[in-house]
Chain A
Amino acid sequence: MDTETMAAETRAKRPIRWHVGVFLAPAVLVYTAFMILPLFGTLQLSLFRNIEQSQVFVGFSNFRTLFGDPNWSVNFWNALRNNVWFFIIHMLVQNPIGILLAALLSSPKLRFTAFYRTAIFVPTILSFVIVGFAWKLILSPIWGVAPHLMDFVGLKSFFTPWLGKEQYALTALSLVSVWQFVGIPMMLIYAALLSIPDEVIEAAECDGVTGMAQFWKIKLPLILPSIGIISILTFVGNFNAFDLIYTAQGALAGPNYSTDILGTFLYRAFFGFQLQVGDPNMGAAIATIMFLIILAGVCVYLFLVQTRLRRYQF
């Protein structure tokens, strides 16, 4: 194992390093033209209002409406609360399961790992259309798959139409989302675990550190940066989530807005729904707030967490 290096490099500064520009240019150009400019073109709409078919600058008035007018703020806080719950479930269920599965898969000499790995990742590759449809079928009281299965293990009395009940729908959908995406933390952690050099493990085993202790004491510290990545990816993904709720519950995120998250709230405001005419200005205001929430999270990660993580080079 190499010496542990804190990214600081001591190479002498050269005047102009063209290659840095060459490496960055293609990505920055495509990304700026097709993502950043359109997005910020939209976000700046949040400072305008459509009055008599023309955009008039109104400062922060849209944000005042969003937080001050109960017609908007009640929905906003509800969506934010739901979104936080959605995120908590992912952090508590998806990531631990992902790490557990990765740890099991990476154990040497375990057979059929290729099969398990492929199978467990399958839900992740499915489109939301398929996932939403399949789970609606399974949980449907009409089709009877879930009640039937629960009957099998004697739990039939616990069955309720989860997706139709205010108190359960969001949790049920969060778990469906966990089911779909558990492959991502699993793969990332798996890759990280595999890249731990054999010498490290052997050294640990020589010292008598094996099994669970080996995982906690040796491997876990080594994969902490990867756990950092999956946490922040989960955070960003969850606060941008939209498709699953939309395909399973529709844009009104029923019953009674109990599954409404920021993504669906934004969609209704920005694009409109049914008779509701889209309001790009209010939509942009919501998007700006979402962006700030996510940006805050990412900054915490980049500046507080990432810089403190110890990285090991092999």
Chain B
Amino acid sequence: MKTKLLTALLLGTSILGTTGMALAEDVTLNIESWRGDDLTIWKDKLIPAFEAKNPGIKVVFAPSAPTEYDAALGAKLAAGSAGDLITCRPFDKSLELFKKGNLADISSLPGMDNFSPVAKAAWQTDDGKSSFCVPMASVIHGFIYNKDAFDKLGLKVPTTVEEFYAVLDKIKADGTYIPMAMGTKDLWEAATMGYQNIGPNYWKGEEGRAALIKGEQKLTDPQWVEPFKELAKWKPYLGDGFEAQTYPDSQNLFTLGRAAIYPAGSWEIGLFNTQAQFQMGAFPPPVQKAGDTCYISDHTDIGMGLNAASKHPEEAKKFLSWVASPDFATIYANALPGFFSLNSTPVKMEDPLAQEFVSWRGKCKSTIRSTYQILSRGTPNLENETWVESANVINGTDTPEAAAKKLQDGLDSWYKPAK
């Protein structure tokens, strides 16, 4: 009731505001974001919670489509019309903005000590001295499966690669379900849900990722080619015409109950919960041999920073401190199951599927996506090329070796690891 009254009041002031009669002390903060999906959560839960505690500050969540976000934001920052708070992509995209002076240094912001160095790493300068975004959430990769389908076919959740293919074979032989819902049309599914999902088990997570950055390993080394070889084996288990299957197609195939396994990111949980009419479960990327250490991609994905040109830096900092608080973390993680808080204070989550995903943090070693830090700074861009090549490998238009070689050659053309 109270929040309703408050929103009504705020609505009133916003109308008055446009006619130039706003109270002098009312400050409006605009949030730039690509998360259009979260609009209602911000509007109904997060912003009212903040505004209730901070009278006089009004917050507007103004998302643009993910595909246009970076270009639009760049233009607005350059011209000086961007919002006060900027939702941050991880690593170089935001680092670039910081270097240009678009993002303010918030290393000393109250609340930043709520985060571990690993969580902060995605939004720091290479030397780790300055932070420029408050970490909001990470996403974990794995596989979501249709429990009803597994029960019906008497399948057990696979833990090793061998079991994984055995399960896929059985689903295929039965014929009721498409074994795996994934397409290559949008390219990124193949790279993100495929290569980056199963890869860490082969390159041993952080160990391989760090070695790649140092130049001690190459993408043509067996531990980096192996995930491509696995992807190449996925082809027969995908649906008919997977080459033209888009990401929403894949989601719909799975949630309509036509596919049994979905190579996933945890961000799907919220949507799948509302759309799927069956029980779901999740398993981490299968390991090569029983007993191997498992590695998962627990990718720092989203943060929030302060526009250096903001006219209300004090109010904006207040907001950012709140974003860094456990209060925010609890509301956010529960409203968006699958976006896991990076806050050091443990967050209690209700969603069983989200709990399953987050439980892997205890069993497996976490890493982030291999292409994100430093390696995608040049042309050709390693991440984008990984999208293209992962799709090529699954489509069968490139062999795993050829794909790996292309990526390494592209990287070599501009990247000189510090020796």
Contact = CB atoms under 8 A, between A and B. Distances in A.
Q: Do chains A and B touch in the complex (CB under 8 A)?
A: yes
Interface of A: 53, 71-72, 136, 139-143, 160-166, 246, 249-252, 254-257, 267-268, 271-279, 282
Contacts of A255: 184-185, 187, 243, 388, 391-392, 395, 397
Interface stretch (B36-44, B126-134, B195-203, B378-386): B378-386
Closest 6 CB pairs of A and B: A141-B241, A164-B243, A161-B244, A164-B244, A271-B71, A161-B241
B372 interface: yes
Contacts of A165: 243-244
A252 B99 contact: no
Contacts of B186: 250, 254
B410 interface: yes
A271 B67 CA distance: 11
Q: Which of B243, B249, B371, B398 has the most CB of A within 10 A?
A: B243
25 contacts: A53-B99, A53-B100, A71-B379, A139-B244, A140-B249, A141-B240, A141-B242, A142-B253, A161-B242, A164-B243, A166-B397, A250-B67, A252-B388, A254-B187, A255-B185, A255-B392, A255-B395, A271-B71, A274-B384, A275-B92, A275-B382, A275-B384, A276-B381, A277-B92, A278-B74
B263 interface: no
B366 interface: no
Contact of A142 (B71, B252, B383): B252
Contacts of A277: 92-93, 96, 377
Nearest to B181: A142
Contacts of A163: 185, 243-244
B245 A142 contact: yes
A139 B244 CA distance: 8
B383 A275 contact: yes
Contacts of B108: none
Given A141-B244, A142-B252, A278-B71, A254 B185 contact: yes
A249 B184 CA distance: 11
Contacts of B242: 141, 161, 164
A266 to B, nearest CB: 12
Contacts of A143: 249
B208 interface: no
Interface string B127-147: 000000000000000000000
A53 B78 CA distance: 13
A276 B244 contact: no
A274 B67 CA distance: 8
Contacts of B413: 71
Contacts of A268: 384
B34 to A, nearest CB: 11
A254 B391 contact: yes
B246 interface: yes
Interface in B11-36: none
Contacts of B252: 142
B376 interface: yes
Given A53-B99, A71-B410, A160-B241, 20 more contacts: A136-B246, A140-B241, A140-B245, A142-B239, A143-B249, A161-B242, A163-B185, A164-B245, A246-B67, A249-B185, A250-B186, A256-B388, A268-B384, A274-B387, A275-B92, A275-B372, A275-B381, A277-B96, A278-B74, A279-B379
Interface string B237-261: 0011111111001001100000000
B91 A142 contact: no
B377 A252 contact: no
A282 B381 CA distance: 14
A254 B379 contact: no
B329 to A, nearest CB: 26
A277 B374 CA distance: 12
Given A53-B99, A160-B241, A274 B377 contact: no
B92 A141 contact: no
B323 to A, nearest CB: 24
Contact of B67 (A141, A142, A251, A282): A251
A143 B253 CA distance: 10
Contacts of A282: 379
A275 B376 contact: yes
B70 interface: yes
A164 B183 CA distance: 9
A256 B96 contact: no
A202 B376 CA distance: 70
Nearest to A271: B71
A292 B5 CA distance: 60
A290 to B, nearest CB: 18
A141 B91 CA distance: 37
Contacts of A140: 241, 244-246, 249
Nearest to A257: B388
Contacts of A166: 397
A243 to B, nearest CB: 12
Contacts of A71: 379-380, 410, 413-414
A255 to B, nearest CB: 6
B187 A252 contact: yes
Of B244, B376, B413, most buried by chain A (CB within 10 Å of CB) is B244
Which of B246, B249, B382 has the most C-beta atoms of chain A within 10 angstroms of its own C-beta?
Answer: B246
Contacts of B383: 274-276
A146 to B, nearest CB: 10
A139 B243 CA distance: 11
B369 to A, nearest CB: 10
Nearest to A246: B67
Nearest to A258: B397
Contacts of A271: 70-71, 74
A71 B414 CA distance: 10
Interface in B159-218: 183-188
Contact of A272 (B74, B187, B414): B74
A142 B96 contact: no
A274 B371 CA distance: 12
Nearest to A70: B413
Contacts of A276: 376, 379, 381, 383-384
